[in-house]
């Protein structure tokens, strides 16, 4: 599919804008979770701004993950941005969608780069989980549309106090 056709398809599936909180700025080596706790120090810098959508809880019980394409955003930045798709990951056997957000539809090259990153990330996270004694399958399952990812998430309410499992 060409870039124009992909952009048109992405636009037809794009949801309304969402509020995203940046937990890992682009270029950072520190991987933080939704609680602000440092999960691990990466040997490679994160190629995207990474954070969460505080209004939704994902299938694994933590805030719905989101990455924001574009220039580096500072830790703690809150912004309203459009989601154009999502990458589905399996982490320790739990499904974990990650919304892909940007001011404009991602190009085909950006989409491939996001998928390539998460394929490598799944392998690295699998090794880290094994080292930590945590079992379960790790894999990048591919790209899905925003509506599918949001349909699997649940709105966050006052009962949510953090992820139910340790990451």
**Token pair of 72 as six digits:** 């580096």
**Token pair of 116 as six digits:** 């390539």
The answer as to whether 89 is a domain residue is yes
Count structural domains, the chain.
1
The answer as to whether 22 is a domain residue is yes
The answer as to whether 163 is a domain residue is no
The answer as to whether 160 is a domain residue is no
pLDDT at 115: 97
The answer as to whether 161 is a domain residue is no
Q: Rounded to whole angstroms, what are the CA distances from 79 to 4, 53, 58, 108, 116? A: 26, 10, 19, 24, 26
pLDDT digits (tens, 9 = 90+) for 58-99: 988 889 999 999 999 999 999 999 999 999 998 888 889 999
Q: State how far the Cα of 146 lies from the Cα of 133, in Å rounded to an integer.
A: 33
Which CATH number fits the domain that encloses residue 119? 3.90.80.10
The answer as to whether 78 is a domain residue is yes
| 8 three-state secondary structure | helix
The answer as to whether 146 is a domain residue is yes
Q: Say what angle helices 108-131 and 3-13 make with each other, to 10 degrees.
A: 70
The answer as to whether 162 is a domain residue is no
Supply the pTM of this predicted model. 0.84
Q: Which residue range is the domain that position 40 belongs to?
A: 3-154
pLDDT digits (tens, 9 = 90+) for 119-153: 998 998 888 888 888 888 889 999 999 999 999 99
């Amino acid at each position: 599919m060409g870039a124009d056709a992909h952009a048109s398809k992405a636009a037809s599936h794009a949801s309304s804008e969402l509020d995203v909180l940046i937990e890992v700025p682009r270029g950072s080596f520190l991987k933080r979770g939704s609680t602000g706790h440092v999960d691990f120090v990466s040997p490679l810098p994160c190629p995207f701004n990474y954070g969460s959508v505080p209004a939704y809880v994902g299938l694994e019980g933590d805030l719905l993950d989101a990455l924001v394409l574009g220039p580096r955003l500072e830790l703690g930045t809150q912004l309203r941005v459009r989601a154009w798709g999502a990458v589905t990951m399996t982490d320790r056997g739990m499904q974990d969608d990650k919304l892909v957000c940007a001011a404009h539809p991602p190009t085909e090259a950006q989409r491939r780069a996001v998928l390539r990153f998460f394929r490598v990330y799944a392998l690295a996270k699998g090794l880290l989980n094994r080292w930590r004694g945590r079992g379960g399958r790790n894999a990048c399952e591919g790209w899905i549309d925003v509506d599918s990812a949001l349909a699997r998430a649940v709105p966050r309410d006052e009962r949510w106090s953090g992820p139910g499992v340790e990451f």
